[in-house]
Structure 1
Amino acid sequence: MVTKIKVLVVEDIEVFRQNIVKHVSRHANPIAVSNFEEAKRALLEQHFDMALIDINLNGEDTGFELLKLAKRKNIFSVVLTNYDDSDYIATAYKLGCNLFLTKDQCEVVIEHVIKGRISEELAKAATPNATFEQMDIFKENYISINKLITTEINLLKARMFDKRPIFLIGETGVGKNLLGQLIHQSLYPNNNNYTVFKCSQYSEKDVDSTLFGKITGIENGVVAYDKGLLELAQNGTLYIEEIGALSLSVQKKLAKALEEKCFIPQGASEYNAITPISIDFQLIASTSDNIYKKIEENLFLASLLQRIHTITLEIPPLRKRIEDVKLLIEHYFRNGIDGTDINNISLGSSAIEALCRYDFPGNVKELKTILLSLSLKKFGNLSVEDLPKSLLHVYRIYTSFNDSSRFATDDQVKYIKKVGFRKFVDKLESEVVKDFIKKHGHAEKAYKELRINRHKYYKIIRMLGEEAKLS
């Protein structure tokens, strides 16, 4: 049985300090202090399970020093501040804080945090070797050591406790859906109401009724009504995948619903049943589009973006965090992929090196597909020669660069690293075809000397257009 945890509350403003103590005392034993000296003495002389530390004490940011001391004693530390500032947040997490809260969040969140900490202590009692870091749902499930991603996720965790809309941006396959699920599990650990709407899977005429519901008639004075996802997500999470695919009319209706926190179902006016339905859920939206370009092209409403991007997390593609590839491979061999064990194979060093050099246009999803495919077709320890041909070709080009007799220039290598091998090849083909046509002044003569597939050749010419300068 775990006794009540002991919490140090460091806050110089008396009214706010008393308010925190009131909330903490419902679930824990608070010790409250008002200045740096008292807090330092308490940390040095007493044991605490948790510390709530105001960064700015009596006009100075001495809370950072207290945070360092608390972390040296392995105390779960929550930073409090009036400033929702990225520099403050980055500094706090760099020093090891477990959670960052602005003071306007604190009253709403603090009991949730305390109860979570108590649950952690109970779990530790059952598994003494467990640590907070091991129990972090994001670290356990979103596998990355990329500094940009870990910083972004820390910023996300610091800000996501009061139902602020969250907007996830990243290419297809980077793990936006997984992050959405983890956010929901973190916010609602005992709530399975996670509602997903995949915009691209619905025709335009079905989107409205799917989101907002539809009144289909009235029988004996009772409204016949098919509930929409906005209502089904009540008191849970609504995840809208690829929100950029919504039509402008649906975007406008959704923006209005989010602003007013209510909506009217489709068909309401037809049956004179115009009673607004209130909504209360955590919204998470995602896109693989350049949403700002879509706004410029009048394909996405700025008013909707304003209502969905209170918290924005941009996820870099796998080719820009290649340090994660080996880590992900190890994770999938240890834990399987989407419930499928792949331990019938293992990868030799050459195969792993080849995967680490690949640019993964399909991102993490493509890596999973490659590993699953290999486990279905192969058995035992695999070398680079067992990898898919497209990937193997890229690897051979890269390894040829390490040969002293290589023909690729340093600039070409840099260009490949910047844009990827496929774009390099496309550019090389276009430049060579253009030069040969210019040299011969005739497309057919150039074709014969190039000894290229005819279909491929004329495809390149069509892409070049006027640049081909055919005579």
Structure 2
Amino acid sequence: MERINYRGKVLVVDDDENVRGALCETLTEWGLNVVAAESGGHALALLQDTVPDIILLDIKMPGMDGIEVLRKIKEKGISSIVVMMTAYADISTAVNVMKLGAYEFITKPFKDNALIRAINEAIEKSLTLKEVEMLQNEEKSLSDLMGKGSDIQAVIQRVGQVAKTGFTVLIEGETGTGKELIANAIHKQSKRHNKQLVVIDCGAIPETLIESELFGHERGAYTGANHKHDGYFFLANQGTLFLDEISNLSLSAQRKLLRVLEEKKMHPVGSEKYIGVDVRVIAASNVDLNKEAAGEKFRPDLYHRLKEFYIYLPPLRERKDDIFFLAERFIQETSIELGRNAPKLSSEAAECILKHRWPGNVRELRNTIRSSVLMADTAIKIEYLHIESSRYPVEENEGLNADLTLRNVSRKATAEAEKQMIQEALKMSNGNKSKAARLLKIDYKTLYNKMKIYEM
């Protein structure tokens, strides 16, 4: 079973006493700080005094249902990440709660790994939002957030060069390198800073809904379209639209996006009219879009249109100068949150974090340090890091001496087999993720999560 990466605070809201009790017991066993509410009104009362990292919110409740509670949470500006729960899953409800601001939508009964994954992803989002808030409130905080090394200073310089222009920006870098922080910095320093920054994870929206979500739709445009819907471009008008993981867009959606960028107007699904839009687009990808374009998985014309200004974020393993700086920052932040003196890195732990390749980059380092601070007294020992020796970089002539346990070898072989099967399914489906998921006999969300884990 996977493990919780960070010991955050969770508010569980469910009118079913058995479900609420079981969730609280399980989450407490996982090391989370849990508060419970039996109704929407009780939850809102608790939120007047405390702001949890995550709110697990049931949809079907008597009186004030979960959707109404979600609306009030967003109206009050409460920063908690909301994960909706229901035993009655359907696409329209999922789309509705996501548009209202929910981060995730999970169905009962829960599987432990699915619940842990949802909590880990929600906490990571919460921490990213806190970093963004710090960036917005502090003048020179981008350097404080990302590092003092020459590579990051060069990135920050490029942010300053492009921010006040109207250029479209393409940001590339591995998962966890800080692409959303860069997008927020560009928007904050731009002439549009007093308008909205709309963030979209292109991989989290089902392929059948992406065009409607981007450009909107008219009532009756398709089965289930009972109301007119304003797309993300409309919401971001006069502001900035951040398209994260843009490589997940279908070729059809890419074609329409290119047209909107070129003509500054869009055509909602089911409409006969064009609507003018004034939106600055920042796109991000964790894969090389130039290679994707060469392999006919991404439109070359859209690639070049997005790359009006280019920023590359190097992986943490290539930024050795920043590792200790960031680790110390995370140690201090976590110690303040826990109300304790900051522990020191032991020499063995320091050597370990310097040698580790950090495939999850800064996000992985942050989670690793935060959990180790929780376990530490005066010093962070190497065993608190939970970094497997098999994940250290291995030189070519040291391959036979690598300290690999049978479990590690099995895990690595399983991961490689899964990755290969996903690649084959994507190839057979010409990059269509919905078809690939059906070929693999898994749901779209599972495929999306695995692709993120394997950085595909």
1:255-294 CA-to-partner distances (Å, cap 9, x unmatched) read 00000001010111xxxxx221111122110001121111
Structure 1 alignment gaps of length 5 or more: 1-133, 269-273, 399-409, 414-423, 430-450, 464-471
Q: TM-score under structure 1 normalisation?
A: 0.52
* 1:263 counterpart = 2:266: yes
Amino acid paired to 2:175: T
1:272-325 CA-to-partner distances (Å, cap 9, x unmatched) read xx2211111221100011211111111100111122111100111001111110
Match of 1:284 in 2: 282
Q: Distance in 2 between matches of 1:338 and 1:297?
A: 48
Sort the Cα spacing of 1:426 and 1:352 in 2 relative to 1 into closer, same or farther, 3 A. Answer: closer
* 1:138 counterpart = 2:123: no
Q: Distance in 2 between matches of 1:457 and 1:333?
A: 30
Match of 1:52 in 2: none
Match of 1:412 in 2: 397
Aligned residues: 275
The Cα shift of 1:345 comes to 4.2
Secondary structure of the residue aligned to 1:355 is helix
Answer with 1 or 2: which has the greater Rg.
Answer: 1
Q: Within 5 Å, which residues of 2 pair with 1:36-435?
A: 135-141=139-145, 143-187=146-190, 191=194, 193-217=196-220, 225-268=228-271, 274-336=272-334, 345-391=343-389, 412=397, 424=399
Secondary structure of the residue aligned to 1:284 is strand
The Cα shift of 1:340 comes to 7.7
Sort the Cα spacing of 1:284 and 1:427 in 2 relative to 1 into closer, same or farther, 3 A. Answer: farther
Q: Distance in 2 between matches of 1:182 and 1:337?
A: 26
The Cα shift of 1:383 comes to 2.1
Structure 2 alignment gaps of length 5 or more: 1-137, 418-456
Sort the Cα spacing of 1:267 and 1:345 in 2 relative to 1 into closer, same or farther, 3 A. Answer: farther
RMSD: 3.7
Secondary structure of the residue aligned to 2:219 is strand
Sort the Cα spacing of 1:363 and 1:371 in 2 relative to 1 into closer, same or farther, 3 A. Answer: same
Q: In the alignment, is the contact (CA less than 8 A) between 2:315 and 2:361 conserved in 1? A: yes
Amino acid paired to 2:142: F
Detail structure 1 runs of 4+ shifted over 3 Å in the superposition: 334-346, 375-380, 424-429, 455-460
Q: Distance in 2 between matches of 1:231 and 1:213?
A: 8
Q: In the alignment, is the contact (CA less than 8 A) between 2:260 and 2:266 conserved in 1? A: yes
Structure with higher RCO (Cα < 8 A, 6+ apart): 2
Amino acid paired to 1:412: N
Q: In the alignment, is the contact (CA less than 8 A) between 1:137 and 1:182 conserved in 2? A: no
1:129-175 CA-to-partner distances (Å, cap 9, x unmatched) read xxxxx93343233x223323322331331233221011100000111
1:301-360 CA-to-partner distances (Å, cap 9, x unmatched) read 011112211110011100111111001012223344997878564422331222111111
Q: TM-score under structure 2 normalisation?
A: 0.53
Q: In the alignment, is the contact (CA less than 8 A) between 2:265 and 2:275 conserved in 1? A: yes
Sort the Cα spacing of 1:311 and 1:140 in 2 relative to 1 into closer, same or farther, 3 A. Answer: same
Percent of matched pairs sharing the same residue: 27
Q: In the alignment, is the contact (CA less than 8 A) between 1:163 and 1:281 conserved in 2? A: no
Match of 2:83 in 1: none
